[in-house]
Amino acid sequence: MRRVVFNQKGGVGKSTITCNLAAISAYQGKRTLVIDLDPQGNSTRYLLGNAVDTLDNTLAGFFDQTLNFKLNPKATEDFIVQSPFDKLHVMPSHPLLEELQTKLESRYKIYKLRDALDEISADYDCVFIDTPPALNFYTRSALIAANACLIPFDCDDFSRRALYSLLENVEEIKTDHNRDLQVEGIVVNQYQPRASLPQKMVQELIGEGLPVLQPYLSSSVKIRESHEQSKPMIHLDPKHKLSQEFVALHDSLARRYGV
């Protein structure tokens, strides 16, 4: 199962959701891969910590290789790194992804990620793909390679306005490039149940028939500690309310597809 976590608006929790769901997947015994397509590399640092500063093989090398024909190219697995957590691997990001984007677009390398994941499909039960906050080459590559799309939503009016165009963009990619792609649901993040505006916004989305997932993810300062220590919540504090919400969300998604 390949899931892409995408929203064109920044700061909605894409990396946090990606890494915590992936960490739970691995914690439960599934062979799990995180692909960090955002040049900022938040998911990479969240899962690998300071080890990111010494990485030799990253997604920048993978995509650069597609631009330059080589007689003996590196295999896809050569760009995958073991995280400190059992069964959890990472295809790490690199700032050079930003520079490569124009060349990759002009040479139409949009299917290379999908092809690479097809090569290693037998090695992983679950793949989670983090994306930049833009509908660019990397995001399109992810949507073409994925089975499902999760959309973080942070109960903000700007996030809601962006949601409708996002859904249209995903549908267009589904029609043109990936018939199997499904919007798996909207993940409500940083939810404050006692505040009236988040409640109103979520109920309006539900009333419009949009696939709002439960449980909603609470707002918590504990997640900052999780980021700082490079430990997903299931490893930092598995009994915390937010950890349990992530587990419940993960399990509800897993039941749909058996993974």
DSSP 153-164: E-S-HHHHHHHH
State the chain's mean pLDDT as an integer: 94
DSSP 36: E
Nearest to 127 by CA among 141, 148, 112, 107: 148
- Assign residue 236 the CATH number of its domain: 3.40.50.300
Percent of the chain with pLDDT over 90: 83
User: pLDDT: is 160 or 202 the higher one?
Assistant: 202
Alpha helices in the chain (DSSP H): 14-27, 42-48, 59-67, 96-106, 112-119, 137-145, 157-176, 196-207, 222-229, 233-236, 241-257
**Domain of 252, in residue numbers:** 2-257
Q: What is the pLDDT of residue 210?
A: 94
Strands 81-82 and 88-91: antiparallel
Tell me: the pLDDT tens digits for 99-120? 999 999 999 999 999 999 999 9
Q: Return the C-alpha torsion angle 203, 205, 209, 211, nearest 10.
A: -100
Cis amide leading into 215 (omega within 30): yes
pTM listed for this prediction: 0.96
State the DSSP string of 108-143: T-TTHHHHHHHHTGGG-SEEEEE--SSSSHHHHHHH
Tell me how far apart the terminal alpha carbons of the chain are, to the nearest angstrom. 7
205, pLDDT greater than 80: yes
Q: Which residue has the tokens 């397509």?
A: 37
For the stretch 15-39, pLDDT in tens is 999 999 999 999 999 999 999 999 9
pLDDT band, residue 237 (cuts 50/70/90): very high
pLDDT for 258: 65
pLDDT over 90 (residue 259): no
CA–CA gap between residue 122 and residue 129 (Å, rounded): 17
Residue 116: what pLDDT?
Answer: 97
Q: Which of 221, 253, 226 is nearest to 238 (CA)?
A: 226
Residue 29 exposed, middle or buried by CB count within 10 Å (0-12, 13-18, 19+): exposed
Q: Tell whether the model's pLDDT for residue 140 goes beyond 90.
A: yes
Q: Closest by alpha carbon to 67, among 99, 114, 37?
A: 99
Using an 8 Å Cβ cutoff, are 86 and 26 in contact? yes
For residue 213, give the nearest of 183, 233, 258 by alpha carbon: 183
With beta carbons less than 8 A apart as the criterion, state whether 36 and 59 touch. yes
Name which of 202, 197, 213, 200 is nearest 253 in CA terms.
213
How many domains are contained in the chain?
1
Q: How far apart, in whole angstroms, are the C-alpha atoms of residue 139 and residue 185?
A: 17
213: pLDDT strictly greater than 90: yes
Q: CA 93 → CA 104, 172, 186, 255, distances in Å?
A: 16, 26, 25, 30
